[in-house]
Amino acid sequence: MAGTLIVFWAFAGLAVVSALCCITRRSPVASALWLVVTLFSLAALFVLLDAQFLAVLQVLVYAGAIMVLFLFVIMLLNLGRAGPTDLRGPAGLGVGVLLSGLLLVQLLALRQAGLSPSVAVAPGAVARIAAEQGMVPAIARPLFGAYLVPFEITSVLLLAAIVGAVVLAKRRL
Amino acid sequence: MNLDLAQSGDLLQALLPELVLTGSGLVLLLVIAWRHRTAADLRLAAWVTLAGLAAAGAAAWWLWWHTARAIGSPGMIAVDDFRFVADWLLLGTAGLTVLVSFDYLERERLLAPEYYALLLFATLGMLLMVGGDDLMVVFLGLELMSVAVYVLAGINRHSPAAAEAALKYFLLGAFASGFLLYGIALVYGATAATNLSQIGAQVRTLGLGGSPMLLIGLGLLLVGFGFKVAAVPFHMWAPDVYDGSPTPVTGYMATAVKAAAFAALLRVLAESFSDVGAWQQIVWWLAVATMVVGNLIALAQRTVKRMLAYSSIAHAGYLLVAVAARSSLGSAAFVFYLVAYSLTTLAAFALLAAKGRDGERDVLIDDLAGLATRRPWHALALAVCMLSLLGFPGTAGFIGKWYILVAATTARQLPLAAVLVLTSVVSAGYYLPVIMAMYMQPEPSEQAHAGMRLGRLGGVVVAVSVAGLLVLGVRPNRLLDLARTSGDGLRASPAAPAATAVSTPTPTGR
């Protein structure tokens, strides 16, 4: 158990630090590479939650395909140089720190309160479902059953985003 | 007609308006793949869009006519009168926007028929938002709507103001979506459900009224929706975005986008959080701040477009009063006011688009001087719109405000009612100068209003809206009955599935 805890804290810390680096680096390439680190540590956290399939998908889709796309876009638009910082003076920084501090306090309040026992997932429940149904069906069945409607809406959402991107980017209007 | 949403045939019927709209969006994309070069192609795309909107409206009407209701365990989509009435409002608003866009797009040389496809997808997102019975559907609908409207705001790529508006809207919209999503996650954490009525049932059975996770989640949800409806203090983006976008899109944003976000907010609060008293206080403060700030800043505006932008913020405040009343009377007043406000605002923006031939951003209130002598009908229509926004007796705006006042006083929200009346009086300070300029000031030159041309279809939009405003102002009963039954449906639904949701296992695969 202690080993799991050590792994958790290591990856959780890595996720937070790399996310911070991702938003504070001035160079877009550096930001994108830090994001890869964040996504990898999240995948490791998924493994700790017994969701190995999700972890693999996270690495394949996010850390792999989507990050490559990000880097391609940065390269094609020639954004490799570090841009100016977005923070406008100490006031902007102060407001940002204040708001994130507020969210942190809320998170601490959540930690104090804890979950009500009837909604908490029992330890090992996810692993048991995966053992009974197999890891992929445990995700696929709800995705194409109970959550079919949201799943289909996602495809329309992607289509609308593609149409929008083409409209904004094409040369002749 | 009872629909069991677990059966795929029944689910397809329940989703009929959305499916029709998706289908017509795909057909439109195919049409403009071949025909996208000339102005005639643009008109063809507009007619296809109108046909799709009309078919979706007919589908919603068919469901309403057969009094379709969902049975069995709660599903992804709500089937009630509130959804159908909201669908009609959104589809009608989109249809009027298409009619206004006919002339506008050709005049501004925006030969992009994708405009109409994006309009269809945005409307589809709105239908899903107001019909979603699950926070996932509500969120995805909101994103679909937002993505399409971000692009619509920046569709005029020759205008730096439009680019600024689109980027600002995109960044702040993404920010707001983050809040909304975090709120949904926390609510899920507290109740282990994303279905609205299941959340309501869990809140009731587990007694989560004081659970910090649920309260923080609810607060973040309110922040996310507050951004979308442009309630103070989350309104910062609205004036610049409304100002920079093409005027028909501004009209669409100020009416349909706001109406959809409001309707989804009302459904979420009524179905899931009716047992959590905390939100009433938050909405109370939001309403007061929105009414006061929106009206006071609107007083200082000199251009008509910015004035209307702040006026729409103020009207969000009036609608929040109806939400804060937290009764079926409040929901009925809410629906009625939304219809009246949408008609008025659409007509006002259509007239503004006709007036501002070379940049409607620059139309000052003083530029309308003497419009009544040169274009008496246009001036009359704009005057009726301003009076309805002000809430003058004889117009639909008055009846709407009156019912919100009744709802607020019945709910013993006397301070809210007082603020509403006072700020309405303040709003006369910026609505009446428009009328005074048109009727009491001389025309500065012969050519001052020569360029104002509404076009035949734009004229139809304005005539229909103004006639609707006047008719509803005198005979509001039919719409009020519709609003009342739809509001009742929203209130009644959580009680029935609450019993089943607890006894039967949740169909989430957990």
Q: Which of B319, B329, B333, B256 is nearest to B87 (CA)?
A: B256
Overall size of chain A counted in residues: 173
What is the pLDDT at residue B357?
61
Minimal CA separation from A138 to chain B, in Å = 8
Residues 488-507 of B with CB under 8 A from A: 507
What is the pLDDT at residue A28?
86
What does the block give as tokens for B304? 């008509």
Instruction: Provide, as residue numbers in chain B, all residues whose Cβ is less than 8 Å from the Cβ of A145.
Output: 507, 509
A164 with B147: CB under 8 angstroms? yes
Which residue type occupies B87? D
What is the pLDDT at residue B452?
79
Which among B5, B15, B22 is the top mutation candidate for probing chain A, defined by the most A β-carbons within 10 Å of its own β-carbon?
B22
3-state helix, strand and coil shares in percent for chain B, rounded to the nearest 5: 80, 0, 20
Nearest by CB to B140, from A145, A153, A163: name it.
A153
Which residue type occupies B323? V
Per-residue HEC secondary structure of A82-126 comes to: CCCCCCCHHHHHHHHHHHHHHHHHHHHHHHHHCCCCCCCCCCCHH
Q: Is A163 on the interface with B (CB under 8 A)?
A: yes
Q: Is A99 on the interface with B (CB under 8 A)?
A: no
What does the block give as tokens for B313? 């913020």
User: pLDDT above 90 covers what percent of chain A?
Assistant: 33
Q: Is A169 on the interface with B (CB under 8 A)?
A: no
Closest residue, chain A, to B38 (C-alpha): A173
Beta carbons of A163 and B117 less than 8 Å apart: yes
Which residue type occupies B44? L
Minimal CA separation from B234 to chain A, in Å = 14
Query: In 10 A of CB B262, how many CB atoms?
Result: 25
Nearest by CB to A119, from B112, B186, B191: name it.
B191
B325 with B444: CB under 8 angstroms? no
What is the pLDDT at residue B492?
53
Is the per-residue pLDDT at A136 higher than 90?
Answer: no
Beta carbons of B77 and A149 less than 8 Å apart: yes
CA distance linking residue B190 with residue A117, whole number of Å: 10
Q: Which of B462, B320, B472, B256 is nearest to B379 (CA)?
A: B462
Q: Is B112 on the interface with A (CB under 8 A)?
A: yes
The ranges of chain B with pLDDT < 50 are: 493-510
Beta carbons of B143 and A163 less than 8 Å apart: no
Q: Is B114 on the interface with A (CB under 8 A)?
A: yes
What is the pLDDT at residue B361?
59
User: B254, exposed or middle or buried, with CB in 10 Å at 0-12, 13-18, 19+?
Assistant: buried
The residue with greater pLDDT, A118 or A168, is: A168
Nearest by CB to B151, from A113, A157, A167: name it.
A167
What is the pLDDT at residue A164?
93
User: A172, exposed or middle or buried, with CB in 10 Å at 0-12, 13-18, 19+?
Assistant: exposed
Instruction: Provide, as residue numbers in chain B, all residues whose Cβ is less than 8 Å from the Cβ of A142.
Output: 508-509
Minimal CA separation from B67 to chain A, in Å = 22
Q: Is B136 on the interface with A (CB under 8 A)?
A: yes
Minimal CA separation from B288 to chain A, in Å = 23
Minimal CA separation from B155 to chain A, in Å = 7
Prior bond to A84 cis, omega within 30? no
Minimal CA separation from B78 to chain A, in Å = 12
SS3 B3: strand
Closest residue, chain B, to A120 (C-alpha): B192
Closest residue, chain B, to A140 (C-alpha): B509
Minimal CA separation from A64 to chain B, in Å = 23
Which residue type occupies B410? T
B229 with B334: CB under 8 angstroms? no
**Residues B242, B247, B251, B256, Cα dihedral to 10°:** -80
Which among B151, B179, B203 is the top mutation candidate for probing chain A, defined by the most A β-carbons within 10 Å of its own β-carbon?
B151
Q: Which of B382, B385, B362 is nearest to B374 (CA)?
A: B382
**Residues B264, B268, B269, B273, Cα dihedral to 10°:** 180
Nearest by CB to A173, from B111, B125, B151: name it.
B111
Minimal CA separation from B144 to chain A, in Å = 5
Q: Is B206 on the interface with A (CB under 8 A)?
A: yes
What is the pLDDT at residue B510?
31
What is the pLDDT at residue B267?
93
Is the per-residue pLDDT at A110 higher than 90?
Answer: no
Q: Taking chain A, what is the end-to-end CA distance rounded to the nearest angstrom?
A: 61
Minimal CA separation from B165 to chain A, in Å = 14
SS3 B132: strand
CATH class in words for A2-78+108-172:
mainly alpha
What is the pLDDT at residue B491?
63
Across chain A, mean pLDDT equals: 86
What does the block give as tokens for B173? 């919209």
3-state helix, strand and coil shares in percent for chain A, rounded to the nearest 5: 80, 0, 20
Q: Quote the DSSP letter at residue B366.
A: G
What is the pLDDT at residue B229?
92
What is the pLDDT at residue B265?
94
In sequence order, what are the beta bridge partners of B364?
Answer: B303
Q: Is A122 on the interface with B (CB under 8 A)?
A: no
Which among B7, B110, B136, B236 is the top mutation candidate for probing chain A, defined by the most A β-carbons within 10 Å of its own β-carbon?
B136
Beta carbons of B11 and A149 less than 8 Å apart: yes
What is the pLDDT at residue A86?
65
Residues 8-67 of B with CB under 8 A from A: 11, 15, 22, 25, 29
Q: E strands, B26-106, where?
A: 69-71
Q: Is B215 on the interface with A (CB under 8 A)?
A: no
What is the pLDDT at residue B360?
58
Beta carbons of A167 and B508 less than 8 Å apart: no
Q: Is A109 on the interface with B (CB under 8 A)?
A: yes
B221 with B180: CB under 8 angstroms? yes
What does the block give as tokens for B336? 């009625």
CA distance linking residue B264 with residue B86, whole number of Å: 10
